[in-house]
Structure 1
Amino acid sequence: MYERRNVRAGVFLPPHHGNDEDVALCMRRDFELVDWLEHLGFAELWMGEHHSGGMQIYGSPELFIAAAAERTSRIKLGAGVISVPYHHPYMIADRILQLDHQTRGRAMFGFGPGMLVSDAHMLNIKPEQQRERLVEGLDVIVRLLDGEIVDHDSDWFSLREASLQMAPYSFRRPEMAVVTSKTPIGSRLAGKYGLGILTHGGGDVAAAWKLAEEAGSAHGNQLNRDNLRVVVSFHLAESRADAAAAMRFGLEPWLAYLEALNPKSYADTRAKAGSDPERIIAARGGLIGTPDDAVEYLEALWEKTGGFGYITMTGTNWMDFEATKRSYELMMRYVMPRFNRANAQRERSFNWVHERRDEFSGANQAAIAKAVSEGGKS
């Protein structure tokens, strides 16, 4: 019998919303989506922080978490991620602490340097400063959450005898993760502080994790693959044709956004895939297809990476809302049970009954015939 896995499913919302839609209605839809994801059994949802470009509409994932937590009771809610260079680290730590208590431990916190150069430009932060400030700021955040009294002088913030007035609700800290992409900084930070990792399935997940483990060992931290989150783009339907057709809703607006953010990435994607939705998503490490395709993809990803604790689906709004909800339902109804081998015992029980069907049926018929012949006499 296959060894059962315990991989949990999550969703990462950048989020992407077309610039032709009403913002308030987009937000209401995101809250409805959280309700749906909890109903389906998703373990967690992450919400991004962005300040320009028009398509990613949340400047404060913490505010989204606070509202979504009041609508739900089980699903964990993450800031994915807090752009550390854009905030005073003390204020980040204090907001984390409040949300940890306010959600009774259901809030999670991811950290990154900030994805959009346009955001940093408006704040007069140079791109080469962003990762340095992530490293510096995260160190202070962790120390504060661990109860230290911190003095710190920097070219962008200062602290004097700074401490948090409460201990975290979660022991010993709230759940925290670092995003990794094109540089080793995220992996090293995860290892240094014993944090989780959010990384893209299209990248070298195994290398990112190996580097984190090495950094963890150097700092006395034993990392656990249960805290490795692999982010992928899955868009599922009953057939590949249906899934590809559903992508017409939001793919082109997203490609226009990609071109505005990263012309080279856009050009590379178009050169590899043209206008074909399946090829476009495949070129970026994702999948448009059926639950069977998704299981096959995940099995290959498992072998490639060496294993992970979460598979985190990117919520791109490339499909309309009903198709999006159906995609998530197919993921939880058919993909995760097969990938985790959760129904192996059910299958064993069915096979056992099926193999002995003649024996069991014959015994049952004989018992019925005996009862009839005896006329109910005892």
Structure 2
Amino acid sequence: MARGRIRFGAFITPFHTPDENPGLALERDFELVEWMEKLGYDEVWFGEHHSGGWEINSSPELAIATAAQRTSRIRLGTGVSSVPYHHPFMLADRIRQLEYLTKGRVMFGMGPGSLPSDAHMLGIDTAKVRDMLDEAIGPMVRLLKGETVTCKTDWFEMRDARLQLAPYDENGVDIAVANQVSPTGARAAGTFGLGMLSLGATTTGGFNALASNWAIAEDLAKDHGQTVDRSRWRLVGPIHVAETREQARANVEYGFHRWIDYFRHVAALPLAPAGVDPVQMMIDSGFAVVGTPDDAVEQLERLIDQSGGFGCFLKLGVNWADFAQTKRSYELFARYVIPKINNLNANRVASEAWLRDNHATFSGAMKSAVSARIDSHVAEKGAQHVAPGVQDALKA
């Protein structure tokens, strides 16, 4: 069975080293979004973090509002809004306003928050953030559908709550919930008929759980009278491509090792053990692609096979290479990976093959037609102005 086309985009947390000008670092993110729109990418998602010094985007809504003024087509999402850090009514209301500011391009990604330090600063018990998210999803979905909500939970209350603005269009905002290894996100997606953002799709655990988490979403959707659509399932993973594998490896020397150190000692998520070549380990494990466009195609085919199919792949914005090489990677991906995955050149390839197979026939027909016209001219006017050898060359 032929599969549908896959959309492509980026998941920009972002990662910026704390030795550079933060304003210029954030500006570079928006330059990348503009570049992606020119290259034909479909989506960009902005993260929310409040500590650690690297992931310095504290408001995905502000990032979306800024990016919307510089673009006209690409869709823009919260990747993700840390729901326990906001009153759900206020968060839903900001998303509704962004629907209008972006003319319907906004997407609402929600999650529990990824950094325990963020929850700590807000006086929130990290053990409770997933429960808090679960309690908030239903009321926010109802609000964004235009309903009036009255509810009381352990951490928030709404009384006759209703958003002032109606949905921007009849389809409403595209809502997705973060999902990694555990079934938490899959259960929420199924219960409320939402999309899924598989943030750890290329980690060993996340990759192995892709098919089972989708099955969980489908089961819960059936139980609650909902439907889930694979086109609204987004997978996230790091990819950097260059003309050769050697060039790609050289490019990521710029920032890869500091990024690994950040995850080992700051974000408390050791992605590679000490004493090994972390780049090679991530390539061998399937976590990352640092190679050529063909390597990226192989990775995407692997994800398609494992998951059974998804709607969008988001390149994790890791900033392993300098900005020029990062932009070049996005360009090579758009030029050579996306067309291969989405079979955009099938007709072109078939057309070229057809002409190759019939070259003698078409070439002969062209020569015969030109020769006949020359012969007609010579018969009428003589060969005085016909270049020597032309007729013989056409008959060769």
TM-score category by the smaller chain? over 0.9
Select 2:272's aligned residue among 269, 276, 284.
269
Q: How does 1:51-70 map to 2 (within 5 A)?
A: 51-70=50-69
Q: How does 1:181-200 map to 2 (within 5 A)?
A: 181-199=180-198, 200=200
Q: Name which one, 1 or 2, has greater alpha-carbon Rg.
A: 2
Any stretches of 5+ residues in structure 2 without a counterpart?
382-396
The amino acid that maps onto 2:90 is M
Q: In the alignment, is the contact (CA less than 8 A) between 1:196 and 1:227 conserved in 2?
A: yes
Matched, 1:139 2:138: yes
Q: Matched residues, percent identical?
A: 46
The 3-state SS of whatever aligns with 1:46 is strand
Once residues 134 and 18 of structure 1 are traced to their aligned partners in structure 2, the CA distance between those partners, rounded to angstroms, is: 30
Q: CA deviation at 1:156?
A: 2.0
Q: In the alignment, is the contact (CA less than 8 A) between 1:47 and 1:81 conserved in 2?
A: yes
Once residues 282 and 247 of structure 1 are traced to their aligned partners in structure 2, the CA distance between those partners, rounded to angstroms, is: 16
Per-residue CA shift, 1:179-224, capped at 9, x if unaligned?
1013211111111111111103221211111111111111112211
Q: In the alignment, is the contact (CA less than 8 A) between 1:227 and 1:308 conserved in 2?
A: yes
Indicate the residue corresponding to 1:374 in structure 2. Answer: 376
CA 1:201/1:154 → structure 2, altered by over 3 Å: closer, same or farther?
Answer: closer
Indicate the residue corresponding to 1:11 in structure 2. Answer: 10
Indicate the residue corresponding to 2:177 in structure 1. Answer: 178
Indicate the residue corresponding to 1:361 in structure 2. Answer: 363
Once residues 86 and 20 of structure 1 are traced to their aligned partners in structure 2, the CA distance between those partners, rounded to angstroms, is: 28
Indicate the residue corresponding to 1:201 in structure 2. Answer: 201
Q: CA deviation at 1:281?
A: 4.7
CA 1:297/1:133 → structure 2, altered by over 3 Å: closer, same or farther?
Answer: same
Indicate the residue corresponding to 2:384 in structure 1. Answer: none
The 3-state SS of whatever aligns with 2:360 is helix
Per-residue CA shift, 1:107-132, capped at 9, x if unaligned?
11100000000000000111111000
The 10-residue stretch of structure 1 (112-121 or 171-180) with the greater mean CA deviation from structure 2? 171-180
Once residues 128 and 110 of structure 2 are traced to their aligned partners in structure 1, the CA distance between those partners, rounded to angstroms, is: 15
Q: CA deviation at 1:335?
A: 0.6
The 10-residue stretch of structure 1 (165-174 or 325-334) with the greater mean CA deviation from structure 2? 165-174
Indicate the residue corresponding to 1:340 in structure 2. Answer: 342
Q: Give the root-mean-square deviation of aligned CA atoms.
A: 1.7
Q: In the alignment, is the contact (CA less than 8 A) between 1:16 and 1:55 conserved in 2?
A: yes
Greater relative CO, 1 or 2 (CA 8 Å, sep 6+): 1
Q: In the alignment, is the contact (CA less than 8 A) between 1:48 and 1:58 conserved in 2?
A: yes
Q: CA deviation at 1:144?
A: 1.1
Matched, 1:328 2:327: no
Q: In the alignment, is the contact (CA less than 8 A) between 1:197 and 1:227 conserved in 2?
A: yes
CA 1:139/1:160 → structure 2, altered by over 3 Å: closer, same or farther?
Answer: same
Select 2:229's aligned residue among 224, 232, 237.
224
The amino acid that maps onto 2:124 is I
Any stretches of 5+ residues in structure 1 without a counterpart?
none
Once residues 131 and 261 of structure 1 are traced to their aligned partners in structure 2, the CA distance between those partners, rounded to angstroms, is: 22
Q: CA deviation at 1:284?
A: 6.3
Q: How does 1:39-188 map to 2 (within 5 A)?
A: 39-188=38-187
How many residue pairs match? The answer is 374
Once residues 124 and 332 of structure 1 are traced to their aligned partners in structure 2, the CA distance between those partners, rounded to angstroms, is: 44
Q: TM-score, normalised by structure 2?
A: 0.91
The 3-state SS of whatever aligns with 2:377 is coil
CA 1:371/1:284 → structure 2, altered by over 3 Å: closer, same or farther?
Answer: closer
Once residues 266 and 189 of structure 2 are traced to their aligned partners in structure 1, the CA distance between those partners, rounded to angstroms, is: 27
Q: TM-score, normalised by structure 1?
A: 0.95
Once residues 36 and 172 of structure 1 are traced to their aligned partners in structure 2, the CA distance between those partners, rounded to angstroms, is: 28
Once residues 117 and 361 of structure 1 are traced to their aligned partners in structure 2, the CA distance between those partners, rounded to angstroms, is: 70
The 3-state SS of whatever aligns with 2:191 is helix
Select 2:292's aligned residue among 285, 290, 309.
290
Indicate the residue corresponding to 1:260 in structure 2. Answer: 265
